[in-house]
Amino acid sequence: MQTSTAIISAVARKVFLGFRLNPDLKKQLEEVAAREERSLSQICELLLRKGVDGYKKEGAAYFRRAIASRSQTD
């Protein structure tokens, strides 16, 4: 009984975040998730967490670098 309470508690702390994105990006994320045998949510959370960590370390320079590299590939 103790274990199930902990699981319910952990699930209850999760929140939903919805946003729109380019269909091609969604397809790429789904491909990564399938290749890694993970859920789309797990992959998105991992990538978002890495982005937040990068921002915490570098501040606005993190975004400037990310935007600059993105504009070079477009």
- pLDDT value at position 3? 46
39 within 8 A of 33, measured Cβ to Cβ: yes
Sign, Cα dihedral of 32, 38, 42, 46: negative
For 47-65, the three-class secondary structure string (H helix, E strand, C coil) is HHHHHHHHHHHHCHHHHHH
**Residue 7 maps to a domain:** no
User: Is 55 within the bounds of a domain?
Assistant: yes
pLDDT for 4 equals 45
Q: Is residue 45 part of a domain?
A: yes
Spatial distance between the Cα atoms of 22 and 26, rounded to a whole number of angstroms: 6
In the prediction, which pLDDT does 11 show?
Answer: 55
Distance, in Å, from the CA atom of 5 to the CA atom of 7, rounded to the nearest integer, reads 5
**pLDDT score, position 73:** 65
Query: Does residue 11 form part of some domain?
Result: no
Domain residue limits at 30: 20-73
Q: Does residue 6 form part of some domain?
A: no
Inside any domain, residue 15: no
Report, as ranges of residue numbers, the positions in the chain whose pLDDT lies below 50. 1-6, 8-9
pLDDT at 10: 53
